[in-house]
C-alpha cells in the first residue's frame, strides 16, 4: 500500500502536465484557425487591404 501512496505525487504531476500541454495545443489550434479565417476574410475584400 505504501508504494501506491508513493506514486500519487508522480501521477498527479503527470496529470497536471497533460492538462497544461493539452490546453496549450488547443489554444494554438484555435489561434491558427482564427488567423486563417482572418486571412480568408482579408482576401475577399475588393481592395485587398487588411483594414
Neighbour-count burial for 14-37, b at 16+ CB within 10 Å, e otherwise: eeeeeeeeeeeeeeeeeeeeeeee
- In this structure, what C-alpha cell is assigned to residue 39? 486571412
Residue scoring higher pLDDT (48 or 28) = 28
Q: Is residue 35 part of a domain?
A: yes
| CA–CA gap between residue 41 and residue 47 (Å, rounded) | 12
- CA angle, 16 then 29 then 15, to 5°: 10
Residue scoring higher pLDDT (40 or 49) = 40
- Tell me: pLDDT of 47 over 90: no
Average pLDDT over residues 4-33: 98
| CA–CA gap between residue 51 and residue 41 (Å, rounded) | 11
Average pLDDT over residues 6-23: 98
Range of the domain at 26: 16-43
Q: Is residue 37 part of a domain?
A: yes
Q: Is residue 6 part of a domain?
A: no
Q: Is residue 27 part of a domain?
A: yes
Q: Is residue 4 part of a domain?
A: no
**Model-level pTM?**
0.71
Average pLDDT over residues 22-44: 96
Q: How many domains does the chain have?
A: 1
Amino acid at each position: 500500500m505504501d508504494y501506491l501512496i508513493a506514486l500519487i505525487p508522480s501521477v498527479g504531476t503527470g496529470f497536471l502536465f497533460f492538462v497544461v500541454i493539452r490546453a496549450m495545443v488547443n489554444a494554438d489550434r484555435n489561434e491558427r484557425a482564427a488567423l486563417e479565417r482572418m486571412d480568408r476574410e482579408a482576401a475577399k475584400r475588393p481592395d485587398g487591404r487588411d483594414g
